[in-house]
Every structure is written in structure tokens, then in C-alpha cells.
Structure 1
Amino acid sequence: MPFLGQDWRSPGQSWVKTEDGWKRFLDQHSNYVSDINSTLHYFNVENNKENLYNNLNYDISAKKRKKDLLNNNTKTQYFYQEKWIYVHKGSTKERHGYCTLGEAFNRLDFSTAILDSRKFNYVVRLLELIAKSQLTSLSGIAQKNYMNILEKVVQKVLKDQQSIRLIKELLQTLYSSLCTLVQGLGKSVLVGNINFWVPRMETILDWQQQLHNIQITRPAVKGTTLTDLPLCLQMNIIQRLTDGRDIVCLGQVSLDLQVLSEDRLLWKKLCHYHFTERQIRKRLIISDNGTLDWKKMYFKLVRCYPRREQYGDTLQFCQHCHILSWKGTEHPCTANNPESCLVSLSPQDFINLFRF
């Protein structure tokens, strides 16, 4: 049976019994002194031990300052990159404490997830929601991981030249939230003082400038383009776009695409995809010819209601064993039918999971 008490003869120290009572045996100190003596002999300074002791103390202090500097400037991520984590919301005999949003953000492998095109939009949306309202609930390490992952996202977009508007909106949301939080000087709303967050805000502005100056390059490989396809195939492809702004931008490429982008049936399907019948009936807009203007209705509905979110791959939560993992990841579940216990989580559901 292990000894759990805090005795004055604690493990890690050697004690000997003498006539005056128990005394600590300084075995470690003797080893330390022998190491010092060997160092003295190596440098041939046996006659100047005091200076060497001072030098050793100076080296220890220098190493400590160097370690502190690396901890402040390092971009290494302090998470475990686990495939699944157990979400516990209370203390039990087996587990003490509870799992927080910052802990889940550190331990789940979000850094690798952004490299997967099926998970990229999911992670970006999660970063945006955290920037809006959850920055103050993250620990210092979680906030550092947040900035490191965000940097990887920006670098990926600059390299691939995709999802530029999505990342611009994310950076603008984060910068606006930080401006609001740092205005209250002296308040403990963020981990670290104002001098620690100002360089991060400057970095965000620099990222915004880089995204603003990006130039889309046309691929060198020549082949069939969108306009070379039949009109029915072009319309079929346009109908796969879920953002009305993408359809408007696509219509600015050529006159033929502009005609397709103004199709009433296209905007009607888009409205019914994102919004309910009740929401649509509340925002009806009649055009001059007496018909419904579905394009104007869409942009009006977007300002009033949230759009439908759909992702290729999401996080999933097991209701039986309370394990959180990426979709398709096996976890040790004791249920007879583990697949029936899994629930896909949206980014907002992920955040709500840690609200106690």
C-alpha cells in the first residue's frame, strides 16, 4: 500500500539514525560536490573555486533567462494531438476537476485538421466563434495555440489562394474583439498585459494586409474551363455554391455566367436551402413585375437569420461514454452499438458542450 501522508521524512531524501535523532544524509550534495570538483579539475582552476562557483550560478541564471525568453517567443504548440478526449463535467472518485474549452482546444488535433479540406471550414468557423465570445475563457497556453493555429491557417490560404474572404472575415472578427477587450486597461479580461497583446494585434493587421495584396494566379496547365462546358452543366455547378456572394462574384467573370447567376430558380433554391418557410414569409420582397425577387430576399434573410451550416467532416460526441473525437475516429466505447450513440457537433455545439 503506498504511503500518501506528508511525513517530514518524505521520499527522495536519505535519513540516518544517530544518537541525537534522525538526520538527513546529504548524498545528493556529495555527488554535486564531486561533480563540481571534477569540473574544477577540467578547467585547471583548483586554486580559484570561489570564482567557479560564481560562474556556475551565473550560468544557471543565464539558462533560466534564456528559457523564459524561449517560452515567450516560441511558436511550439502545447497540445497533445490526441484523437479523442473524455469530456467530464464534474469530479468523481476516478477523475478530479472538469474538462474546459481551452483544454479540449489544446488536446484535439486542430493543427492537422486545417490541412484536410473536409475539416478546414469547420475549424475556421470554430476559430471565428471563439474570437467572438470565448477568448477570455481560454487559458494562456490555449490562447497561444489559438494564434499559432491561426497563423498556419493564414499561411495555407496565402499558399493555396483559396478561402480568402473567409479568412478575412475571421481576422476582422478577431481584431474587433481584441480592440474591445484591451480597451479596459487594468481589467483581467485576457491572459497577459496590454504589452503582450499589442504585438499580436499588429500581426493580425499584417496578415490582413497580406491577404489584401494577394494576386490570384491562373494555373499554367491549359484545359477545359467552366465556360467551355454546356450551360446545363454550368448551372449544375453553380447550384452547388452555398454562399450568394460567390454566385455574384462568379457572375462578374463573363456575360454568360452573369445571365446564369441571375436565374430566379437558382436564388429560390438557395433561400429554401438556408432558411425555413416561416422566415421566408416574413421577408417577402415583390419586384416591379409582381414576382418575388429571390435574390434580394436572400441577402435580406442573411442579415436577419443565420445561414445553414454544412461541413464535410465534423467533431462527434458519444452520448454513452462522453468521448469527443473527429468523425471516423475509433474510440474505446462499451456500448453495444457505438455508432448509434454518436452525435455530430456543429462549431456552436462544440462550444456549448463546455458551458456548465
Structure 2
Amino acid sequence: MNYDVAAKKRKKDLLNNKTKIQFLEDQQNIRLIRELLQTLYTSLCTLVQRVGKSVLVGNINMWVHRMETILHWQQQLNSIQITRPAFKGMTFTDLPLCLQLNIMQRLTDGRDLVSLGQVAPELQVLSEDRLLWKKLCQYHFTDRQIRKRIILSEKGLLDWKKMYFKLIRCYPRKEQYGDTLQLCRHCHILSWKGTDHPCTANNPESCSTSLSPQDFINLFRF
């Protein structure tokens, strides 16, 4: 009976002609609707063929008709060709290569770099740039950590991309903050980075220590 309950629930959600027409007109979430229809069709097949007619409510021909309706909707969805709206203006790939690389260097997560490379073939080539991955490794990890996880390519060069993903599995990445709190070890005053406080030390800059959020919380622990 669980199959019957599940099938009736999906039937209530999906066997709605108004909903079907709306999706066909809007052409939105087609992949999701296709998956839901396939799940519903599979459930109905299980009810009709495997579980038996005894659990079905109503005439068997009615259930067969519903299955045929689902198949018809699937055919309509498969025949839809998504048309992308015309876009007039500059895109990321229209920028000079030096600017594209400059923007990509601002990404601090290797996963974002990989995702960006999947957008277009030309971006995929740029996302493999060794300098990008070298800077990511040097940004997040110390020289000692990098030396311990050296990986060479077939050409005998450092494979910075593989090293990056090896390093993130072995060590925590550098934490990033929009603003950084600093603690003056001389007068024990907290201040934001870039702001001054009336420190009496001869060299106030040497007395400042950056605090992470966890370091800040630790100040209140006794």
C-alpha cells in the first residue's frame, strides 16, 4: 500500500493539466519536471505490473490512460528546445586575456576556479594556468607545507593544481576575513586593521597582532 500512497501523492502534484501547461509555456525547471514525471511513471508501472491490480483504486484502464498521459508529457518536454535570450553587451570572455587572468587571480577557492573553467573552452584553458594555482598554494599554505607535498607533472614541472587539492586535504586553508581585528601587545587595545590607537610604544606597528574570529573568542575564555 505504500506504493499506492506515494503514487497518489505524486499524481496529485503532477497530474494537473494547468501545471503542465505552465511549465511547457515558461520552459523553466524542465529537467526537474522530467525527473518527477519519470519517477511517477516508474511508480505507476510498479503498481500495475508488480504489486497487482488489487491495490489500485478505480478501473485499470484509468491508470493505463494516466501512464499514457505521462508518456505524452515526457515527449512534449523532450521536444522543447531552450532558446537563450539575445544578449547585447560585453561578456567575461570578451575581455582581454590579461584582464581575465587578473580577475581569476582574485578567486581564493580552487573549486571556483575549476567551475569557471567549465563555462567555456577558452576559460578552461585559462583555468589551467600554472601561475594561478601556484598563487593559490602560496596564499593558503606555508612554504614548508608546500615542500612536503610536491607533485611533479609528466614534464618534470611542479603540478600546482594537483598540489593545491592535495594540500587542502592535508592542511586547513588560510582563513579569510573582510576586516581584521588587531591586538596591541603593548597596551592591550583592540582595533581594526588600518586604524590607529594612541599607543605609547616606540614602534607600535611591531606590537600589533592580527586576530582571527577564534582568537577573539579565546580572549573571553578564563
Normalising by structure 1, what TM-score?
A: 0.33
Is residue 267 from structure 1 mapped to residue 161 from structure 2 by the alignment? no
Query: What's the CA shift for 1:282?
Result: 1.6
Q: Which has the higher helix share?
A: 2
Residue 156 of structure 1 is matched in structure 2 by: none
Evaluate the alpha carbon distance shift between residue 312 and residue 223 of structure 1 in structure 2; reply closer, same or farther with a 3 A threshold.
farther
CA-CA distance at 1:320 after TM superposition: 3.8
Residues 35-65 of structure 1 deviation map (CA, whole Å, 9 limit, x = unaligned): xxxxxxxxxxxxxxxxxxxxxxxxxxxxxxx
Whether 1:277 aligns to 2:159 is no
1:343, CA displacement in angstroms? 3.1
Q: Which residue of 1 aligns with 2:13?
A: none
1:322 aligned residue (165, 182, 188):
188
Residue by residue over 1:246-272, the C-alpha shift from the partner in whole angstroms, topping out at 9 and shown as x without a partner, is: 111111111111110011222122212
2:211 pairs with 1:349 = no
Aligned-partner Cα distance in 1 for 2:204–2:111: 37
What is the deviation of 1:236?
1.4
2:104 & 2:97 partners in 1: Cα distance? Answer: 10
Could you say which residue in structure 2 is the equivalent of 1:5?
Answer: none
Counterpart code for 1:299: F
How do 1:206-355 and structure 2 match up within 5 A?
223-327=89-193, 333=198, 335=200, 340=205, 341-355=207-221
CA contact under 8 A between 2:149 and 2:163: conserved in structure 1?
yes
1:69 matched residue in structure 2: none
User: Could you tell me how far apart the structure 2 residues matched to 1:292 and 1:330 are?
Assistant: 42
C-alpha deviation, 1:310, in angstroms = 4.2
Unaligned runs of 5+ in 2: 1-86
Distance 1:327 1:301, change over 3 A: same
Unaligned ranges ≥5, structure 1:
1-220
What's the offset of the Cα at 1:302?
A: 0.7
Q: CA deviation at 1:244?
A: 0.7
Whichever residue aligns with residue 164 of structure 2, its letter is: Y
Change (3 A) 1:336 1:271: closer
Number of matched residues? 135
AA partner of residue 292 (structure 1) = L
Aligned partners of 2:180 and 2:88: how far apart in 1? Answer: 35
Task: Give, as a single letter, the amino acid of the residue that structure 2 aligns with 1:241.
Answer: L
- Report if the CA contact (8 A) 2:186-2:201 is conserved: no
Percent of aligned positions that are identical? 77
Deviations 1:9-59 (A, max 9, x none): xxxxxxxxxxxxxxxxxxxxxxxxxxxxxxxxxxxxxxxxxxxxxxxxxxx
Distance 2:164 2:96 in 1: 27
